[in-house]
Structure 1
Amino acid sequence: MLPKSSNDVHLKRDREVLEEIPEKKLLSLNGLKVLVVDDNEDCLCVVAFVLEDYQAQIKTAVSADEAIEAIEEWKPDILISDIAMPGKDGYSLIRSVRKKEILEGGFLPAVALTSYAYEDELDHAMDAGFQKLIRKPFEADELITVLIKLTQDT
């Protein structure tokens, strides 16, 4: 029998390492149109990166006014919005969306994404018109699961 080369040893070790990595869950957004609103460019990039990894179509906005314009023009399937933004905050944004829906019909599921840690923040978000609140930092699979559930329910 021939001695194993160092290359064989490395390949075996690499294979063992790969086998230890858990399989990625089979979650996909299948082209879902997601509008992400946040005044923080870094947060926008992270959320967009995660959503693109799950096959979503992404549009971003850095203000409530920009988001309203994107909703009218692009017609997203779901909205993810930060709460704390200068000027019009996420609450103002979702209230504007809900008022327009009362007048024109339709429904846009919405998720509040926030770094706030106040206990009553969930109540404030729901009262304003969001369906779900997710705290930053978030787990990608949690966000994706919420988006799938909210868009399947509508």
Structure 2
Amino acid sequence: MKKVKYLIMDVDGTLTDGKIYMSGHGEAYKAFNIKDGYGIHDIAIPAGIIPVIITGRSSDIVLQRGSELGIKDIYQGVIDKIEKMQSVAPDLSKVAYIGDDINDLSCMLLIKEAGGLVGCPKNAARQVIEVSDYIADHNGGEGAVRDFIEWLLDESQ
């Protein structure tokens, strides 16, 4: 397997449990798993993998958490994930992507076709599970990203 250069991640349902806690003033909270954070900050980045967030929603919470983890490439409010992904990582054979729902499928299929790797949380949508190279032992927001990172590094050995 070629070395993975980029780890592209969705947020809601992948890095979080998919719940959106809202107040009368808008989004108030998102819950992130510390194991995912450790996997990104202390395993993926030192291994030379560049973490990237591409998400359809926009949230200051994601910017704050991403900054804590050393993620420099955070793209929010993205309508066309394929276009953004290709501008960030033109060689899709060196991309690993983890997502959980139908809006991730087009990116996942392009990456697979190019020879990259795709994964998903255990509780991803059925269609996403069917195309994934790796299905995490954990649900989204419960360590699925860490599972995927560890699997990627095992695959590259």
TM-score normalised according to structure 2 size: 0.48
Q: Which has the higher helix share?
A: 1
Higher Cα Rg, which structure? 1
Determine which structure has greater relative contact order: mean sequence separation of CA pairs < 8 Å that are 6+ residues apart, divided by chain length: 2
